[in-house]
Structure 1
Amino acid sequence: MLFTNATIITVNAKREIIQNGSILVRGNKIADIGKTQLLLEKYPDETTSDLTGRIIIPGLVNAHMHTAQTLLRGSADDLELVSWLCERIWPLQGNFTPEDGYAAARLSIAEMLKSGTTCFLESMFADRYGFDGLCRAVDEAGVRGCLGKIVMDVGTYASDPKWAMHPGLVENRETSLLGALNMHEKWNDKADGRIKVWFGARTPGGVSEGLYKEMTALSREKNIPITMHCAEAPADRTFFASKNHTPMSYCSSVNLLGPQTVLVHMVHLDETDIAKLAETGTHVVHCPSSNTKLASGICKVPELLTAGVNVTLGTDGAPCNNTCDMMSEMRLAGILHKVAKMDPTMVPAETVLELATVNGAKALGLADSIGSLDIGKKADFVVLDMRAVHLQPWFNPVSAVVYSATGRDVEHVVVDGKLVVENGKLLTMDEEAVWQEAERRSKEVVARAGLTNEVGPRWPVV
């Protein structure tokens, strides 16, 4: 297929924007890209799709996602992090079945695809959710998934016994670490290479130092990347101080830092932490919606970028964001730091789009194949229909994408050369069946957890 007459934001090495541009897809790769007139002359017999009035961007990379939690959207609003976890999210997740996990994964993936995410990093999929079901959902939907299987052996938050996990979520070394190795052997590189299996380590305090060291050694031996929440809340900083460490000195002591590690949130850092991240090539995921909604704080993105740290973007889970829309996440990432620094030049739109595309691809070890629109890379891209009153006029296409568009403006999505969303409709899943099953199962989970009265309206219902 030859996609013609669009404005193409390539995010290539030269950061070129091609006006009246075309992309030729053959197999699962971009075979050619350039001006429409030239490509029509080169490929006169190619089937074409006219995209006049549209903008094409690389597929968005959601570098931090909890696919199971989408089933719990809106169940824990307006709570601070530890209460959010211990009183709502963990008890709910502790009552999941593998069938619930599969339904939640399908709901998450459907929403991500429809809003322009073509690749995501699942942070911590618990054994009880059914990892096989997650992989099956990725395979069936046609999305690209880096899937973190949880690694843990301590059932509290930040080693504080009063912040205990629900018993249904507690795993040991055999279930978590060895289970992750089994899933890596079974699923890594499956679904035409779209599935990658990662270690999804729990936050420091949720993993013993011995298990961290065993996991990091296996990571290097078997080339299995690691993702982990870190320095998200003040309680995390207190935990590190109790060990006579800063966040990054602790991570260094258990061999977590390096280019195969993606650390998430990273709100409570000092200058030495930032320098250590840059020195080791460790990646950072910024989750502005989650951090603001849970009042965790503001990640020092300008300082991290200035230091040379690779920063990318993630939505986090639906109970602390309420949406899996990376387009909306980009907008907040572009405006949050302006007011935090009282400087409107902070984190411009071009930087934000880099966070969500090329930087995400780099963090996931996929920079050679996705993240920008280049000849020879995988055909992962998103078409935004700009022919709408809320998007007109626009002068800078990057600004229009970051500050004006939302996921609802996504018209087409191509992953691995295949059209998976067309005219805003999913082609790989029955969308109505997905949300109807999710609606039913979400209520069943809440009922099993005994939280039906707690998650409902706070105002009287008549």
Structure 2
Amino acid sequence: MTTATYHNALVLPVSGDQPWFWGWLSVDDGGRISGMGEGSPPADAPLPHHDLEGRFLAPGFVSAHSHIYTGGMRGVAASSPLYEWVSLNSQMLLGAEPDDLYWMTLAGGLDHLSCGITSVYNFTQSRVIAIFDYERSVLRPERVHSAEFVTRQVDGLAESGIRFVTSVRLDDEQLPESDALAGFDAVMRHLDTVPADQNLGGSVYGAVQTSSSPVTADRERTLMNRYGITNQAHFVETAEQIDVQQAKFDWYDAAGVLGPDFAFGHFVHPTETMVSRVRETGSSVVWQPMSNGRLGSGIADIPRLLHDSVTVGMGVDDQSCTDVSDPFENMRTGLFLQRGLHSDASILTPATVLALHTIGSAAAIGVADRVGSLEVGKFADLLVVDPYAPHSGPIWDPVATYVLGCGLRNLREVIVGGTSVWSRKADHPLRAQADHELTQRMIASAAASGIHPAWPPSVSKKGK
């Protein structure tokens, strides 16, 4: 890590009283923000100095809900709802081995970084490959791996350079309890191998929505206490079997899991009681507007949650159901859906949705002390965004231009801890290999279930 000062920039701190200012920001040799302010930098500001020539300097996006290994399944089940889509995803992974998941995850992490996401809550693919059982509303195991199937995903994400929370499913109904706990423990121990600045902690991949007994909620509470970790559960995401989903909320509540360390992913179809309990307990909600729209899951009433002072973050979810890891598009999709749903252009503002995908996401997953905004002492995770390439005209409202008028085509550089990790001129040295490995390994894994891509044609398919 090296020191630096960025100046002559439109700074969007996403914190404090100023939504933007024309000024500078400095980075210390520990990769943290050491100073910032309006106007020109002080004479003793750290070298080298980078003149941004009026470009935006903003915090890296935080995806509070991602399944990073899924980039090889873009475009699948294109008109299917959640459970059909997730079952096809699982079938396509039946032929995968631990090293396949390493490359899939590395490719996904690099893809997130190249889209301006510098921190992520990652739901690892469980070592149990399971298919959704419609009749019992549970997961039916099809193939079981060792814990290495998950730890190699941790290795891949560490190699990418992104910061990450590692979420692990217990699989207590698919495995003997002792085996499930041993596998979870192995992953938690493996997190000690991740560089400290990248490791944002472990978490429970909440699975009560697909469990048959409330004991799963109790076991998840035990894990949270044992390791001092958080929990995020997919919940009431889809209207399919909604009565079954809603009925399981009480299992979490009775287990004492709800609270500041707990988040509900999606939360599209809650009851009034559920919303009240989330507010009362200080639990969070993580919103995936593009994924919810793609799968026809519904539109979460985010303005209502914000009105109730619920902490809300945003995530780009699966690359196989959001299809592009694009936080700019995710912000706009969410903003426009809410305005259309409520027939009210003021129901959600650009400043609010930007905060949701940065500091809101960081707060929802318990890492707002380190990432999510530009503040002295936080990691220097920065985006350089050029509103003049392509040119967007005069900037009347900087935050509105950033959210409504900019996108990946304007992204010029991604900086993590003061170090450039992606730019228009330079990508990660493993990016081309990771993309190639992802493609070949995903084709081979899916072929084990008789599933083949339209292009490129697989060897097994050509041989038929």
Paired residue for 2:318? 317
Change in 2 beyond 3 A, CA 1:207/1:69: farther
| Residue 131 in structure 1 maps to residue 169 in structure 2 | no
User: 1:36, CA displacement in angstroms?
Assistant: 4.4
Q: Note closer, same or farther for the CA distance 1:189–1:119 as it changes in structure 2 (3 Å cut).
A: farther
In structure 2, distance between residues paired with 1:456 and 1:250:
46
- Seen in structure 2, the aligned counterparts of structure 1 residues 335 and 134 have a Cα distance that, compared at 3 Å, is same
Which residue in the other structure is 2:330 paired with? 329
The gaps in structure 1 that reach 5 residues or longer are: 155-169, 458-462
**Counterpart of 2:216?**
211
Mapped contact 1:123–1:228 kept (Cα < 8 A): no
Single out whichever of 438-447 and 385-394 deviates more from structure 2. Answer: 385-394
Correspondence for 1:149 among 168, 189, 195: 168
2:11 equivalent to 1:13: no
The one-character-per-residue Cα deviations of 1:242-265 (angstroms, maximum 9, x if unpaired) are: xxx3x6434202333111112101
The 10-residue stretch of structure 1 (107-116 or 230-239) with the greater mean CA deviation from structure 2: 230-239
Shift of 1:453: 7.0
Per-residue displacement from partner, 1:417-459 (whole Å, max 9, x unpaired)?
Answer: 32212335324x42211211111112112211212279999xx
* Count of paired positions: 434
1:223 correspondence with 2:224: no
1:188 CA displacement: 4.6
CA deviation map 1:84-110 (0-9, x unaligned): 122x11211233211221111111111
Contact kept? 1:76, 1:455, Cα under 8 Å = no
Deviations 1:247-301 (A, max 9, x none): 6434202333111112101001122211111111111110011111111111110
Q: How does 1:44-443 map to 2 (within 5 A)?
A: 46-86=47-87, 88-127=88-127, 128=145, 130-154=149-173, 170-188=174-192, 190-195=194-199, 196-206=201-211, 208-240=213-245, 245=247, 248-389=249-390, 391-423=392-424, 425-427=426-428, 429-443=429-443
> How does the TM-score come out when normalised to structure 2?
0.88
Change (3 A) 1:18 1:453: closer
Question: Which residue number in structure 2 is paired with residue 32 of structure 1?
Answer: 35
Whichever residue aligns with residue 411 of structure 1, its letter is: R
CA distance in 1, matches of 2:42, 2:48: 10
The 3 A distance-change label for structure 1 pair 73 and 207 is farther
Q: CA 1:453 to 1:410, structure 2 compared with 1: closer, same or farther past 3 Å?
A: closer
1:111-159, Cα deviation, whole Å (9 max, x unpaired): 11011100001124312472222222222222101011122234xxxxx
Per the TM alignment, residue 312 of structure 1 is displaced from its structure 2 partner at its CA by: 0.5
The verdict on how the C-alpha distance between 1:327 and 1:66 changes in structure 2, with shifts beyond 3 A counting, is same
TM-superposed deviation, 1:3: 1.1
Alpha-carbon separation, structure 2, partners of 1:443 and 1:338 = 40
Does the C-alpha gap of structure 1 residues 410 and 304 become closer, same or farther in structure 2, counting only changes over 3 Å? same
**Deviation for aligned residue 1:305:** 0.5
Contact 1:151 1:207 (C-alpha < 8 Å) held by counterparts: no
Is the Cα–Cα contact under 8 Å of residues 94 and 448 in structure 2 kept in the other structure? no
Aligned identity (percent) is: 24
The 10-residue stretch of structure 1 (304-313 or 173-182) with the greater mean CA deviation from structure 2: 173-182
CA distance in 1 between counterparts of 2:115 and 2:271 reads 35
Amino acid at match of 2:416: V
Task: Give the secondary-structure state (helix, strand or coil) at the position aligned to 1:319.
Answer: coil
Partner of 1:163: none
Q: 1:158 is matched with which residue?
A: none
Q: Is the 8 A contact 2:217 2:252 kept in 1?
A: no
Whole-angstrom CA distance in 2 between matches of 1:402 and 1:172: 48
Letter in 2 for 1:191: P
Conserved in 1, the CA contact under 8 Å of 2:170 and 2:181? yes
Shift in CA distance, 451/115, structure 1 to aligned 2, threshold 3 Å = same
**1:23 has 2:26 as partner:** yes
Question: For the residues of structure 2 that align with 1:390 and 1:176, how far apart are their CA atoms?
Answer: 54
The answer to whether the Cα contact below 8 Å between 1:123 and 1:227 also exists between their aligned partners in 2 is no
Q: Is the 8 A contact 1:383 1:412 kept in 2?
A: yes
TM-score (norm 1): 0.88
Find the residue that maps to 2:165 and give its secondary structure.
Answer: strand
- Paired residue type of 1:118: T
State how far apart, in whole Å, the 2-side matches of 1:51 and 1:451 are.
Answer: 48
Q: 1:207 to 1:180 in 2, by over 3 A?
A: farther
Q: Where do 5+ consecutive residues of structure 2 fail to align? A: 128-144, 458-464
**CA separation of 1:200 and 1:207: change in aligned 2, threshold 3 A:** farther
What RMSD, in angstroms, separates the aligned Cα atoms of the two structures?
2.2
Judged with a 3 Å threshold, the aligned counterparts in structure 2 of structure 1 residues 391 and 300 are, in CA distance, closer, same or farther, namely: same
For 1:33-92, what per-residue CA distance to the aligned partner results, in whole angstroms no more than 9, with x for missing partners? 11342x24232x621111113101111110111112112111221112222122x11211
Matched residue SS, 1:295? coil
Distance 1:175 1:339, change over 3 A: farther
What is the distance in 2 between the residues matched to 1:303 and 1:69? Answer: 31
